[in-house]
């Protein structure tokens, strides 16, 4: 593009769609390389060699070896999978395991998680210092605490200043805390254990290490960036972020519009281009959840069942919504108490619940629902409301984080201008959600207004174009003039 030099970027992530996923981080890591390609950014992804990743790797070649990598030998494999250029850290002693990528079969953290992801960060630093023949990144882009030590290691290496670093906070609730007595095992300098360095309330925080040492900091929405600098949302790191405010920016996530495309989604009963095409999918979804026809809107939830997601608020607000003729179809898993409570709620014939996660079903829910409910107490960006917009399924969201940045609420002003795409509520309480659901029922009873909001939602930009341009501009600022 215009002769601009290609920026080589190394993305350091613990998960990546379509290879391995536990949350939104994987979606972002999987989408960014392709989204950045039109901006002359070549991104390669460094990811642990979990069994699923090794099995998917095509054309694998060993390109670097390490005799001692946090408890055993390791190598870097170069190859492709899922359309991505991958660098895979093949360290069987760290990653060749069953169960989850972070948790044992008993649902607890692998005890050596600090070493596992320190190894990932340390290898990123080695790559920045020339471990791969013929390829050195201009920028190392680390994600969350699992990549948080990469900016630290690079800042303590010869690559400092030559290879620039970025860290993205996807969810500040997870900080990679480690007892201070493991510093030597993690190849950390004892002299860096202080309040302006690695120390976090007597422990080491891998995320803080990245926030202190990276050249630029990002998070996944402008509102979440502002929230993280407050005592209410910063989870103990708000002071660090306020000190780095000049280097901290919020860039919204996007979604893969080829995967989430109502016009040619293979999972749907009937793909559609216009809101009126949702009717067949709504009928099919009701059948799938055992719901009869009802006079009110069919609301859907696709979520982890946790207090962060505000699903306890939905339980409290649900009776009033059902009294207005509304229905609920929920797909999710998480807190056993919430799982049991929603199963109990499903005794009502207008509530359908499926526990677990089912990707094809999530597509059918987006296509068949009238509204998607996202009542999160905090939400860095959120993706489900973006899926809802794409499918004309109007989001009902809390006024927080990326939910505030992506949904145009139905207010007198936005309705007069005919631009509303959903509903927002604040404060994040059961009463406020109850009022929002009542407003949803009122709008649903006005077919012309409802149809206009659906068309607005489906036309709202939810892809990666704008966000990829923002990341490319950030890399360009870091690496000098074009």
Structure tokens at 459: 């036309």
Dmax of the chain from CA atoms? 68
How far is Cα 225 from Cα 229, in angstroms, rounded to an integer? 7
Is 282 a known ligand-binding residue? no
Structure tokens at 55: 């099995």
Q: Where are the beta strands (DSSP E) in 364-461?
A: 371-374, 394-398, 423-425
Cβ contact 229:242 at 8 Å: yes
CA-closest candidate to residue 296, choices 329, 322, 326: 326
Cβ contact 311:345 at 8 Å: no
Estimate to the nearest angstrom the gap between the alpha carbon of 116 and the chain centroid.
Answer: 21
How far is Cα 309 from Cα 314, in angstroms, rounded to an integer? 10
Cβ contact 64:35 at 8 Å: no
Structure tokens at 113: 């998680």
Give me the DSSP letters along 258-301.
TTS-TTS-TTSSS--SSGGGHHHHHHHHHHHHT----SS-EEEE
How far is Cα 190 from Cα 175, in angstroms, rounded to an integer? 19
CA distance readout (Å), 176 to 105, 313, 350? 20, 29, 42
CA-closest candidate to residue 281, choices 300, 255, 302, 304: 300
Cβ contact 428:375 at 8 Å: yes
Cβ contact 202:153 at 8 Å: no
How far is Cα 264 from Cα 51, in angstroms, rounded to an integer? 32
Label the pairing between strands 74-81 and 84-90.
Answer: antiparallel
Structure tokens at 382: 């959120």
CA distance readout (Å), 195 to 71, 125, 257, 285, 453? 29, 24, 43, 53, 49
Q: H-helix or E-strand containing 179?
A: strand 177-179
Annotated binding site: 21
Annotated binding site for ADP-alpha-D-glucose: 21
């Amino acid at each position: 593009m215009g002769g601009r030099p290609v920026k080589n970027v190394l993305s350091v992530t613990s998960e990546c769609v379509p290879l391995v996923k536990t949350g939104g981080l994987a979606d972002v890591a999987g989408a960014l390389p392709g989204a950045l390609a039109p901006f002359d950014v070549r991104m390669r992804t460094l990811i642990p060699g979990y069994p699923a990743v090794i099995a998917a790797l095509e054309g694998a070649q060993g390109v670097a070896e390490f005799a001692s990598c946090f408890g055993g030998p390791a190598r870097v494999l170069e190859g492709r999978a899922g359309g991505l250029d991958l660098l895979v850290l093949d360290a069987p002693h760290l990653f060749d395991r069953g169960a989850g990528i972070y948790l044992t079969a008993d649902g607890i953290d692998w005890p050596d998680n600090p070493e596992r992801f320190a190894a990932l960060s340390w290898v990123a630093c080695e790559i920045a210092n020339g471990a791969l023949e013929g390829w050195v990144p201009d920028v190392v882009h680390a994600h969350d605490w699992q990549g948080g030590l990469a900016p630290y290691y690079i800042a303590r290496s010869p690559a400092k200043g030559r290879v620039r670093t970025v860290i993205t906070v996807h969810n500040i609730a997870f900080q990679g805390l480690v007892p201070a007595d493991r510093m030597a095992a993690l190849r950390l300098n004892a002299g860096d254990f202080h309040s302006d360095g690695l120390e976090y309330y007597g422990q080491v925080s891998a995320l803080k290490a990245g926030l202190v040492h990276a050249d630029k900091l990002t998070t996944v929405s402008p509102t979440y960036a502002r929230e993280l600098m407050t005592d209410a949302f910063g989870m103990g790191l708000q002071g660090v972020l306020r000190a780095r405010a000049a280097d901290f920016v919020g860039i919204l996530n996007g979604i893969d519009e080829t995967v989430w495309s109502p016009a040619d989604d293979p999972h749907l009963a009937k793909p559609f281009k216009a809101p009126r095409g949702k009717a067949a999918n709504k009928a099919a979804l009701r059948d799938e959840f055992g719901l009869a026809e009802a006079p009110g809107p069919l609301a859907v939830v696709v979520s982890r069942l946790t207090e962060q997601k505000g699903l306890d608020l939905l339980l409290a607000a649900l009776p009033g919504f059902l009294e207005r003729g509304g229905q609920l179809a929920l797909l999710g898993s998480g807190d056993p108490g919430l799982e049991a409570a929603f199963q109990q709620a499903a005794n009502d014939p207008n509530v359908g619940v499926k526990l677990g996660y089912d990707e094809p079903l999530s597509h059918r829910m987006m296509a068949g629902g009238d509204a998607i409910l996202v009542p999160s107490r905090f939400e860095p960006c959120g993706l489900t409301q973006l899926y809802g917009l794409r499918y004309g399924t109007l989001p009902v969201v809390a006024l927080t984080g990326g939910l505030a940045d992506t949904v145009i609420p139905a207010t007198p002003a936005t309705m007069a201008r005919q631009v509303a795409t959903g509903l927002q509520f604040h404060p994040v309480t059961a009463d406020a959600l109850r009022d929002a659901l009542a407003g949803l029922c009122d709008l649903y009873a006005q077919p012309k207004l409802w149809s206009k909001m659906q068309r607005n939602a489906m036309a709202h930009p939810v892809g990666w174009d704008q966000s990829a341009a923002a990341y490319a501009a950030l890399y360009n600022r870091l690496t000098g003039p074009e």
